[in-house]
Amino acid sequence: MNGKKYRIALAGNPNTGKSTLFNQLTGLRQHTGNWPGKTVAQSKGYFEHKNEEFEIIDLPGTYSLIANSMDEEIARNYIAFEQPDVTVVVLDATSLERNLNIALQVLEITDKAVICLNLIDEAAKKGIEISEAKLQKKLGVPVVKISARNKVGISSLLDAVLSVVKGLLPLSPFKMKYGDEIEERIEELLPDIQSIYGSHLPARWIALRLLEGDERIIDELNAKLLNEKKGGHSYEFASGEY
Ligand SMILES: Nc1nc2c(ncn2[C@@H]2O[C@H](COP(=O)(O)OP(=O)(O)O)[C@@H](O)[C@H]2O)c(=O)[nH]1
Ligand SMILES: [Mg+2]
């Protein structure tokens, strides 16, 4: 044990088996509280794999990360601002078309992701065949099939998690391309976003939110900035300028 704790976030739609996986991994080493300042429950737990210690957070299940609800806001803010060492996106292998949406949204925020196809037992019963290799090539991050309830594939999933947190894999996450006009405006915004908020935040994703006119992201970023710089920064993004 080298003492370093890697942080994992579990993201995905409701009912994809996130809590089942969380419980399998952590057993009794878990506790439930609330998200800071919120009435939404937060489950945090701990486990070890190959002599490394992990802390894992079970994010609220959401269909998207555009912050239409408290759950979505919590999930996206955790991934974007708290920056876990890896986000494991748990997808229901029996309805991939619907589930891939959240995977793409996570990949827009972070490069450090593993896609976990759960419920492969159910998928097999329905005759659904999924090529992990093809999906992995398209998405640019590891894709691992599991059945959380039947404890199938868990160690492969953890090996993938470990290689991502240790930076052992070349990751090239799929980034959605928008039209030329939007891409140009993203390019225009990037230098300002990077110089104001630093290079550790997901600048492209922030640019997209600003172009959407997402006012809450501006408040979140300004609060974060104030916190980090203790009021020492005079320029802030103002709402409604984009
Ligand atoms: N057949 C099957 N059911 C599963 C598997 N993993 C989870 N489930 C079931 O799927 C349902 C939703 O699981 P849960 O962990 O609560 O999903 P969450 O909403 O993503 O946290 C529960 O009834 C689980 O028992 C699996 O690998 N195979
Ligand atoms: Mg759950």
Q: Model confidence over 58-71: pLDDT tens digits?
A: 999 999 998 789 99
pLDDT band at 55 (very low <50, low <70, confident <90, very high): very high
State yes or no: pLDDT of 234 exceeds 50: no
pLDDT in tens, 4-24: 799 999 999 999 999 999 999
- Residue spans of the domains in the chain: they are 5-165, 180-229
Query: How far does the centroid of ligand 2 lie from the alpha carbon of residue 43, in Å?
Result: 9
Distance of alpha carbon 68 from alpha carbon 193, whole angstroms: 23
Mean pLDDT across the chain: 91
List the beta bridge partners of residue 114. 88
Shortest-distance ligand to the CA of residue 94: 1
Look at residues 80, 81, 32, 77 and name the one whose alpha carbon lies nearest to residue 56: 32
- What ligand 1 atom has the least distance to the C-alpha of 120? 27
> pLDDT value at position 222?
85
Top mutation candidate among 146, 149, 150, 151 for ligand 1, by most atoms within 8 Å of CB: 149
Q: Average pLDDT for residues 27-53, to the nearest whole number?
A: 94
- What ligand 1 atom has the least distance to the C-alpha of 21? 15
Shortest-distance ligand to the CA of residue 42: 2
> pLDDT value at position 240?
42
pLDDT in tens, 133-169: 999 999 999 999 999 999 999 999 999 999 999 999 9
Sheet of 52-58, strands arranged across: 30-34, 41-49, 52-58, 5-11, 86-92, 113-118, 143-145
Question: Structure tokens of 152?
Answer: 């199938």
pLDDT in tens, 206-232: 999 999 988 888 888 888 888 776 654
Supply the residue whose CA is at minimum distance from atom 27 of ligand 1.
Answer: 147
State yes or no: pLDDT of 73 exceeds 60: yes
- What ligand 1 atom has the least distance to the C-alpha of 20? 15
pLDDT band at 185 (very low <50, low <70, confident <90, very high): very high
CATH class of the domain comprising 5-165: alpha beta
Q: Is 94 in the pocket of ligand 1 (CB under 6 A)?
A: no
- What ligand 1 atom has the least distance to the C-alpha of 14? 19
Q: Is 122 in the pocket of ligand 1 (CB under 6 A)?
A: yes
Look at residues 109, 130, 106 and name the one whose alpha carbon lies nearest to residue 13: 106
Distance of alpha carbon 106 from alpha carbon 109, whole angstroms: 5
Distance of alpha carbon 46 from alpha carbon 56, whole angstroms: 6
pLDDT in tens, 80-127: 999 999 999 999 999 999 999 999 999 999 999 999 999 999 999 999
